[in-house]
Structure 1
């Protein structure tokens, strides 16, 4: 394993030798969440304990417990990053001025860029969600359902305005979100994410929603 910085260092060294800068806007908890997600993706959630997570993150075990009381709490934080935090960032785009098509296009683009930035966290949050407590899983599920309802509502508004021609706004919302979220499974380094966001926005608007019909 590559040497790691101390608790006050500037870099988190992961078990495969990659590094992740410290000092992001989320603070130390955010750094732990990012590094733990990488470790879960590499080794699997159920095969590691808090000690291994602390070693992977590059901090002492006692320091890890200052931020998270359990491994499940870390998993919950990963899931929240990919649900509540995305919702908080993206819902204002649906509430902004503009036509339903414009507002949905802005959300699709932001959603794809966020998934590309947090690809590992997104995959881990999907693969390991059964590790959450029933209460935490129910909360995460409710957040995802709310996000889906908001997308459905803007699609329905677009249908009413004659911009979209989707017969079933609910099914269309599921299709658009599934199409976007599926990117996380195959996205690789070197992909032109900006171009990908443009392409998938066109797929959603002109394909699924038939806005050009």
Structure 2
């Protein structure tokens, strides 16, 4: 839950973590992705997990709470796992490259959850939607701050840090729509290519380095 609007605090205990809640979230995401959120009931989720309905209600009070947990895995979770890389030692380009790798690896793990959260966001309550939006904005703002730092050191060559951060996040998130691990490209090849594309080309690190 956010400490203040737009400044998320420590990761919420309500986000799916380990054990049965994680199992429920993953199974629900697959079911929502296949059948559509509106068409799925709590009984369907319970059957997908292989538990009784009463056991499901022990973990989540409603279907919307499950959707909220799904959305947090792709908004709040990256804030906790990825953003510390932006505070690590190194140049802005090095830190941004590390973030790109972590972002893509996380999206690969959470591809189904990301697609469900993207398509079903409007089904959240206004309160839950505000929290999810806050986490997303915070992530984008932290990315923008590193873009600004790179512009100041001369590593990045972009006219507008805010637009560059939006474009970068959109480009990274887009792999959920096409990367399926089908053998044509492996994840490592995608990561290496995107580091070059996003940091080297989009942010201009290659140009400023003379590459």
Question: Normalized against structure 2, the TM-score is what?
Answer: 0.88
**Aligned mates of 1:189, 1:177 — CA distance in 2:** 21
Q: Where in structure 2 are there 5+ consecutive unaligned residues?
A: 1-15
Residue from 167, 170, 185 that aligns with 2:177: 185
Which string of whole-angstrom CA distances, capped at 9 and with x for unpartnered residues, describes residues 147-198 of structure 1? 0000000010000001001110100001110000000011113340111011
* Residue 39 (structure 1) aligns with: 31
**Aligned mates of 2:169, 2:26 — CA distance in 1:** 23
Q: In the TM superposition, what are the counterparts of 1:53-92 in structure 2 within 5 Å?
A: 53-92=45-84
Q: After TM superposition, what 4+ stretches of structure 1 lie above 4 angstroms from structure 2?
A: none
Q: What is the total number of aligned residue pairs between the two structures?
A: 190
**Aligned mates of 1:72, 1:198 — CA distance in 2:** 37
* Residue 29 (structure 1) aligns with: 21
**In 1, are the aligned partners of 2:92 and 2:147 still within 8 Å (CA)?**
yes
Q: Where in structure 1 are there 5+ consecutive unaligned residues?
A: 1-23
- The alignment status of 1:166 with 2:158, answered yes or no, reads yes
Structure 1 residue 206: deviation in Å?
A: 1.6
Residue from 99, 115, 128 that aligns with 2:107: 115
**In 2, are the aligned partners of 1:113 and 1:194 still within 8 Å (CA)?**
no
Cα-Cα RMSD = 1.2
* Residue 119 (structure 2) aligns with: 127
RCO (CA 8 Å, sep 6+): is it higher in 1 or 2? 2
Question: Normalized against structure 1, the TM-score is what?
Answer: 0.87
**In 1, are the aligned partners of 2:181 and 2:187 still within 8 Å (CA)?**
no
